[in-house]
Chain A
Amino acid sequence: MELLRKIEDGGYPTEYLVARIQGRSAAFLRDWDALIFSPDPLASLAATGYRNIIAARAEDIPWQRLAREYEWVYLQMNSALRRIFKPFFTHQELRTLFLALRYKRGNDEKRLQEVLLASLLAKTVKTTLRDLPDVPAVLPEVERVLIVMSPRFSGLEDLFLRGGLGAVEQHITDTCLEHTVRSPLHPIMRGFFRRLIDMRNIMSLYKHQRWTMKDRPLFLRGGTIEEPVLTQAAGSRTGEGASDLIARLTGTAPEIITPTSVEHALIEGMTRLLKKEARTASEIGRILQYLWQCFIEARNLSAILAGRDMDRELVSQEILS
């Protein structure tokens, strides 16, 4: 059993997909500030082809739209591309899985159905999520699927009983990232996942330093920043460690260290890296950069919709470039 849906269709040549995504890239919103500070940002959005988003006025619509776009890209891919991008889509579908588990826990059947609609999860996983009565019943089935990838996914039900859904999500995400970088990957995908691990480790380090936690943070292995460097930074007990590592990783560090600025610096560093890959590397880099840009757009749209009644300056700070 696999986490992702099996596609029998052969898909299209890589050049075809790259040409299509280049055409679609033209539709990305670029001037977010002009949109946010316009007299009516939602009306401006509606004028740029986002009528559905505005009509629904729901923050999760951009994420559903993102899921549909990812599904479209996955279905267009040929089998060689699907093999290369499988870790990426697996990682993305973990988010769908977590949302579905949260809706299951909250008995929100409507949203559960919606989130599974454009999902790339395998039919068996979707059926499990839809039909089984509660999270403790679903988790052993999810574990049976994930354990094929790595035995470290075992014990999800126990983890849920001890630490709740948050602990399960953290465990699955971390195990999936570590497992992915250890498996054979395309060099660009390897670079992407190593950077994701770095981002996760730096966020852990920052939280550890900010809230002066006693326990040492658990760092994931496989990133570009070695574990001893992270451990040493965690021991320094100043905010400098995270800032230095962000500068080392992305080339620039935020002037003021806040949770938002750290997260933004890391995400924007990844955006710059992928843009560079898209310019200099093969089609894989271009496709990955497109998928990432779709994520950034969904996140920005979600922030605008969530902050429609908030101070625009605050909303502007949430926007990723």
Chain B
Amino acid sequence: MEMQKVLIAFAAALSIGLPAFATAWAQSKIGAAGAGALAEKPELSGTIIILLAIPETMVILGFVIATMILLTVK
């Protein structure tokens, strides 16, 4: 029983941890490229913010899955 709890917690941690890393990596790349694009074309700021926010969906979904694992898996 204790082992099962450990595995559930581990699964929940993975489901938010991995997307968090992926989001961080994607945002680092998009952020750097976005800063470069903004330096040349400041009018692109709205587009860059949207592009920067898109990878955030990965970690949000990861959070939802982690919550579901913790709350529904017994």
Contacts and interface: CB of A to CB of B under 8 A. Distances in A.
B33 to A, nearest CB: 4
B32 interface: yes
A12 interface: yes
- Binding site secondary structure of chain A: helix
A23 B40 contact: yes
A94 to B, nearest CB: 29
Nearest to B36: A19
Contacts of A12: 32, 36
Interface centre among B28, B29, B33 (most CB of A within 10 A): B33
- Interface size class on chain B is 10 to 19
Interface string B1-37: 0000000000000000000000000001110111111
B35 to A, nearest CB: 6
Contact of A20 (B28, B29, B30, B40): B40
A28 interface: no
Q: Which interface class (under 10, 10 to 19, 20 to 34, 35 or more) fits A?
A: 10 to 19
A16 interface: yes
B35 A24 contact: no
A91 to B, nearest CB: 26
Contacts of A235: none
Nearest to A24: B40
A18 interface: yes
A24 B30 CA distance: 18
B74 interface: no
A17 B32 CA distance: 8
Contacts of A166: none
Interface string A20-33: 10111000000000
Contacts of A24: 40
B53 interface: no
A51 to B, nearest CB: 20
Nearest to A14: B32
A111 B52 CA distance: 47
Interface in A3-44: 12-20, 22-24
Ranked nearest first, the 10 interchain pairs of A and B with the lowest CB-CB distance are A23-B40, A19-B36, A13-B32, A16-B36, A15-B32, A15-B33, A20-B36, A19-B33, A16-B32, A19-B37
Interface of B: 28-30, 32-37, 39-41
28 contacts: A12-B36, A13-B28, A13-B32, A14-B32, A15-B29, A15-B32, A15-B33, A15-B36, A16-B32, A16-B33, A16-B35, A17-B36, A19-B32, A19-B33, A19-B34, A19-B35, A19-B36, A19-B37, A19-B40, A20-B36, A20-B39, A20-B40, A22-B40, A23-B36, A23-B37, A23-B40, A23-B41, A24-B40
Given A15-B30, A15-B32, A16-B33, 14 more contacts: A12-B32, A12-B36, A15-B29, A16-B35, A16-B36, A17-B36, A18-B33, A19-B35, A19-B36, A19-B40, A20-B37, A22-B37, A23-B39, A23-B40
